[in-house]
Structure 1
Amino acid sequence: MAFMAQPWKHPSGIYYIRRRIPDDIKPILARGDFYKVSLQTRVPAEAKTRFAAEWSNSDQLFDTARVQLRDGVQLSAKDAVQLAARWAYRERDAMEQTGNFSSWLVDHGSRFEPLGGTIDGRRGVNALLEDPLWLLFLETVIADELPRYNQPPAPKDSAAFRPMLEAFAAQAQHLSKMAFDRSEHDHVTPLHAPAVAPLSFEAQRNAAPLLSRFFEDWKTYVLKIGSNGRDVTKRVAEYGGTIKVFIELYGDHPLTSVTRMTASAFGSDLLRMPTGGAGRRALTARQLIAKAEAEGLPTLSRLTVKNRLMALSALLSHAVRLGIVTENAVTASGVTGELSKAASKAGRTAPRKHYTRPELRQIFSSPVFQRTWTPPRASFGEAWYWIPLLLCYTGARREEIAQLKADEIQCSEEGVWYLDLLSTPDEDGDEDDQRTLKTAGSHRKIPLHPDLIELGFLQYAERLPQTGPLFPSLEANHAGYYGHNFGKRWSAYLKSVAQLDTRVRPSHGFRHTFITLCREQGVPEELRDALTGHDNGAVSRKYGERALLPQLLEQLNKLPSIAREAGLLPVAAT
């Protein structure tokens, strides 16, 4: 797992970006080993936001340094004049705010004079540059100014350095002249300096990039500072698909052309996109919409469209932080909020998400659990039998079960057998689990229901190499999900073999079913959350320690014996 870059906290409490300078550009940056800039805040949340922008700035600085090493300094004579003018305006503001004009004047004891006295223009500039003290002062000013604009130091022997010296010397003269006027009570005569205008590299940088280009930059940034784990990779791939659809619908335009109206129109068009269908990969977004309308195909739900819009929103938020656009058109349009409200309203009458007891009996009395069925294609070994049972009796996510190791079936000091689960999200999302803590490395312990033990689960686990996987026949897909291929075949099995006619999601439906059964049996919410891995912000995360496993097992024992109802175990004598 790659290191996740974070703001660095100085002992003073101020956060900084502290980044190692690549070896190839150290000679031109002359900053030592690290690039370090204050984020000017002690608030962690603010530091993270500013950190993202400063990281991008440092990327630009490093890229500029490489160009200058390869091609020489790129600053033009116009840039030199503009840099000097910006510096002069800041010095003027400071002078007028403090009223200290004498620092820019020559003190002759009985009177003050501007720099060079009456000498002005080229002669005055040359006079300043021939003075060793003034030359050192101007060199220091230039060295301080360039980093303000993410420009590396300009070598003194470069073609760009002499024009900068002359431009700053000329502005130093104008500042001194203005200081003299102010000391003589003339507060009207302005500073003689050109108006602020974009620098050549700013004009190039501020030209809004095309959406496709900016997505590639955003992807590089996210993968660089993120964990590079499968969750980040999956999110980047999903966002890329949405951006591809956007470009197919509206073209690859600059970010600045993405308006509130565009965001709203995108949401409307996504609602017309079909949810699936053979041959869809060969069709463009417009063709898919036409196909859906012509054939009456089911289209994306409001909640799905809202989630798709978050891809565009993420890019625009990043662009706002970098100063490329002034607002996030998706959030400003209110389209995601409207979709959320509509989805919430529709959800009041939405189809159920859990299996009914008759459906559970139909599933677990089907051929795979009677050991009378052989898969026609992929053979996943005992995963066919145990994964659905474990999902039903634990409420865990499919991937949490699929990635289990044999030695993660453990027994507590009190004699309670349990699963030591590594909490992780499912590949197909967990949209209903808004409170779920999905942090890699977060463990929870779920007691094994007595039915699983009676069915022989412990004996199955004990026969396996203890350092290996619990389901050796499962292989991770390209994104690293062990349950992906099984989930596809399980869905097909339920339809074609178990003859189950339901809209409940094949694997995730067990999770909803477990929660529903817990509610029906009066399992306290905090204990239910501890079993399912929810974090409600209260005390549920304190549960699941080994000392509390007996209490969790007591709650599990309240649940109905699905295995007995399906005929997998004998009905207990009354």
Structure 2
Amino acid sequence: MAFMIQPYSDPKSGIWKIRKVIPKHLRPFLDGKVELKRSLETKDAYEAKTRAAGVIAEFESAIARALSRFDNQENEQRISSAQLDAIVSYWVAHEHGRLTQADIQARYLLETPEGLSGMTEWFSEPLEVLHEANGTSRQQTEEQRFVRHMSAFVDEALELSQYSLYDHSLRLYLAIQLAKACIKLCNSAIDHEQLDRRKQELIRRELNRGFEPTLPNTNIDPTVPSSDALQQLKDLGLTVISTSSSAPNKQKEAELTLSSSVSQLIEWVNNQKKIVSSEVAFRSWQGDRNRPCERLIEFFADKPIGEIQKLDMRKFFNWIIRCPSKPSQEIRALPFNKQIDIADKRGLARVSINTADKELKLISGYFQQAVKLDILPKNPCHQVSPGKETVRVIRDPGYSNAELMKIFSLPLFRQRTNAQKARYGEAPYWLPVILAYTGARAEEIAQLYVKDIKQDSDNSERWYFHIQELRDDQSVKTGESRRVPICQALIELGLLDYLNTLPADGRLFPILKANKKAKYHLAVARYLKDVFKTLDIEHFDFLKPLHAFRHRFITEARKVMREDVQNAITGHSNAGSTGRNYGIYSELHQEIDKMPVIDIPKWHL
């Protein structure tokens, strides 16, 4: 007879605990455990009862997964290699259809100084190691390592086919076949990217000549699984989704009403934003809102937006500040409710009131769109936040001269290792150096192309960075382009020599790739932050490591130039019309050369 799990008080410690006996036939699937048990970490009966609900749900979920694996044993023993091949074929057809997407291309392409290169080694080298270990004492270890290496692809293929596999040998087979398929996809991704670049170049050339562009065919024919393969999937009990190009790509956009869920509200607003924004601007805008929106969807589930009141949003706000602030990758993959449970048990740092306030403002924007269209009578987010915490400024947000000397004395400014070059190219050297001498924002420099570094038409000895939103993958915080003069110190450090090593139509930092928020500087910024941490800079955690170069530049600029000149160089948001449209460009060069010279080792390849 089934019975409800109940917490109990430990007679010795008085702390409430909870446990559930695991059925004998399921124990092999739960690491051989006899029971699941957990301390509720409280001596209060009422609090224990409240905490027990989440733990019980977690226990039941673990038992359900074990039961699924037990029930699946018999079915898995009957699965043939042909049926596994059907799962792989189905995934390959789906992946071919997504090769136009930047985040999918990033799986298979690597941008190097010589141009695009397929990431075949990421798949082929582990395959070679696995093959060499066959029949040796290392075979089992390498098999497990290879399955872990390909686990994301295996799980994705299984999820696409709506099936679960737990047997090691079956997952190993899938991992090997998927790795072989990925090697071919690397070549397909290169072909598509090259065709796409030819297409864009043709558009620009034809439009400049005043003609209607005739575009080459850039479609890649997907490898569609055979009817036999699809039937095998059906025989396994899988739900097969048609990959036919004649099928509609997306459902008709639903009408937004009071009964719409928050996920429908988010989707509707995102679609409206996408219509009026460039791709890079939309990706950046959406990237800032992904995490708050994920929290909103989990908290409110299917509750209609017309029923959400201010009190509900206050509860949501209080729920946000219980979430861990910097969860590990493993914790981040869990639902937020489970993240909160783990934060409670481990005493992890929580989301700050300031961060929660910022997230609520971003969420408010979605509801405000519905208010503007008279779908909602009022915005339930208004006046919900208790306000920001007052943060006491501990230090100046820029580097001191002594700290700057420490930074540019690091080994990476004398010689980059092969590992640094493979991951970031020359960005670890040039990005901090350029920021220190220009006061520009990190992303403004990281997104530049070689052609954005130009000679002054009136004086060939003068060069400047042209910061602008010329291309789809470029954005400027203020929305206004500007010319930032290149001081003589940067040229003496070898900036022009570095440019001569790069393809004329390529990027200033060709290896850096945009993340989901369309930002190019974040990966190298994280790396430099870890390096700068080793210098014991006072209150380093309160600094923004790359932005601190901008603050330091502005501080020094105040000593040698007028505010309007300084604003024209830095593109400061409160520059006013004088700063933004500064007319005497030669004076910008004269003034920036007055800035103090920093002791930095000269760049060499």
TM-score range, shorter-chain basis?
A: 0.5 to 0.7
Letter in 2 for 1:561: V
The structure 2 residue matched to 1:309, chosen from 357, 360, 379, is 360
The alpha-carbon deviation at position 470 of structure 1 amounts to: 2.1
Quick one: structure 1 residues 531 and 324, their matched pair in 2 at CA, closer, same or farther if it must change by over 3 Å? same
Q: How does 1:359-374 map to 2 (within 5 A)?
A: 359-371=403-415, 373-374=417-418
Letter in 2 for 1:454: E
Amino acid at match of 2:466: D
What is the aligned counterpart of 2:502 among 464, 477, 481? 464
Residues 52-451 of structure 1 mapped to structure 2, 5 A cutoff:
207-224=258-275, 226-278=276-328, 279-331=330-382, 333-335=383-385, 338-339=386-387, 342-343=388-389, 345-346=390-391, 348-349=392-393, 352-371=396-415, 373-375=417-419, 378-412=422-456, 413-414=458-459, 415-422=461-468, 437-439=477-479, 442-451=480-489
Contact 1:367–1:373 (Cα < 8 Å) also in 2: no
The corresponding residue for 2:548 is 509
Q: Within 5 Å, which residues of 2 pair with 1:484-523?
A: 484-495=522-533, 502-503=540-541, 504-519=543-558, 521-523=559-561
Q: How many Å separate the matches in 1 of 2:323 and 2:394?
A: 20
**Distance 1:537-1:361 versus aligned 2 partners, 3 A rule:** closer
Match of 1:550 in 2: 586
Could you list the runs of 5+ residues in structure 1 that have no partner in the other structure?
1-203, 430-435, 570-574
Equivalent residue in structure 1 for 2:519, among 481, 485, 491: 481
The 3-state SS of whatever aligns with 1:330 is coil
Quote how far apart the aligned CAs of 1:395 are: 1.4
Q: Using a 3 Å threshold, how does the CA distance of structure 1 residues 234 and 417 change in structure 2: closer, same or farther? A: closer
Counterpart Cα distance in 1 of 2:588 and 2:601:
26
Classify 1:363/1:551 alpha carbon distance in 2 versus 1 (closer, same or farther; 3 Å).
same
Partner-residue secondary structure (3-state), 2:419 = coil
Return closer, same or farther for 1:260/1:500 CA change in 2, 3 Å cut-off: same
What is the SS of the residue equivalent to 1:539? helix
Is the 1:423–1:533 Cα contact (8 Å) retained in structure 2?
A: no
- Give 1:437 shift: 4.7
Report the counterpart of residue 149 of structure 1 in structure 2: none
Shift in alpha-carbon separation, 1:239–1:406, aligned structure 2, 3 A: closer
The question of whether the paired residues in 2 share the 8 Å contact of 1:400 and 1:423 is answered with no
Q: Offset at 1:531?
A: 1.3
In the alignment, the residues of structure 1 paired with residue 440 and residue 586 of structure 2 have an alpha-carbon distance, to the nearest angstrom, of 19
Whole-Å separation in 1 of the counterparts to 2:405 and 2:463: 25
Structure-1-length-normalised TM-score: 0.54
Separation in structure 2 between the aligned mates of residue 372 and residue 480 of structure 1, nearest angstrom:
26
Distance 1:495 1:525, change over 3 A: same
Q: Which amino acid aligns with 1:268?
A: N
Q: 1:526 to 1:267 in 2, by over 3 A?
A: farther
Q: Give the C-alpha shift of residue 209 in structure 1.
A: 1.1
Q: Is the 8 A contact 2:368 2:379 kept in 1?
A: yes
Query: After alignment, is 379-388 or 312-321 more displaced?
Result: 379-388
SS of match in other structure, 1:286: helix
Contact conserved, 2:452 with 2:466, CA < 8 A, in 1? yes
The Cα shift of 1:544 comes to 4.8
Query: SS of the residue aligned with 1:417?
Result: strand
Conserved 8 A contact 2:259-2:304: yes
Amino acid at match of 1:419: F
Q: Provide closer, same or farther for how the CA distance between residues 245 and 257 of structure 1 changes in structure 2, counting only shifts above 3 A.
A: same
Closer/same/farther in 2, CA of residues 378 and 301 from structure 1, 3 Å limit: farther
CA distance in 2, matches of 1:315, 1:269: 19
SS of match in other structure, 1:510: helix
Q: Distance in 2 between matches of 1:205 and 1:560?
A: 58
- Higher Cα Rg: structure 1 or 2? 1
CA contact (8 A) 2:557 2:566 kept: yes
Cα pair 1:211 1:254 within 8 Å, conserved: yes
Rate the CA distance shift 1:567–1:214 in 2: closer, same or farther, 3 A.
Answer: closer
Identity level (%)? 28
Rounded Cα–Cα distance in structure 2 between residues aligned with 1:211 and 1:350: 40
Cα 1:468–1:205 change in 2 (3 A) is closer
Q: In the TM superposition, what is the alpha-carbon distance from 1:364 to its structure 2 partner?
A: 0.6
- Aligned pairs for 1:25-40 (under 5 A) are none
Q: What is the CA distance between 1:509 and its match in structure 2?
A: 2.3
Change (3 A) 1:510 1:319: same
In the TM superposition, residue 367 of structure 1 has moved relative to its aligned partner by: 0.5
Residues 457 and 377 of structure 1: CA distance in aligned 2, closer, same or farther (over 3 Å): closer
How far apart are the structure 2 equivalents of 1:392 and 1:423?
Answer: 23
The alpha carbon displacement at 1:207 in A equals 4.6
Deviation at 1:459, TM superposition (A): 2.1
Q: 1:291 to 1:304 in 2, by over 3 A?
A: same
CA distance in 1, matches of 2:493, 2:594: 18
Structure 2: gaps spanning 5 or more residues: 1-254
Amino acid at match of 1:420: H
Deviation at 1:478, TM superposition (A): 4.9
2:531 matches 1:531 = no
SS at match of 2:504: coil
Cα distance in 2 for partners of 1:424, 1:316 equals 32
Residues 115-168 of structure 1 show CA distances to partners (whole Å, capped at 9, x for unaligned) of xxxxxxxxxxxxxxxxxxxxxxxxxxxxxxxxxxxxxxxxxxxxxxxxxxxxxx
Task: Output the amino acid matched with 1:445.
Answer: R
The CA RMSD over aligned residues, in Å, is 3.2
* Cα gap change, 1:260 to 1:207, in 2 (>3 Å): closer
For residues 478 and 494 of structure 1, what CA distance do their matches in structure 2 show?
Answer: 25
Residues 242 and 539 of structure 1: CA distance in aligned 2, closer, same or farther (over 3 Å): same
* DSSP 3-state at the match of 1:236: helix
Alpha carbons 2:567, 2:580 under 8 Å: kept: no
Q: SS in structure 2 opposite 1:264? A: helix
SS in 2 for 1:353: coil
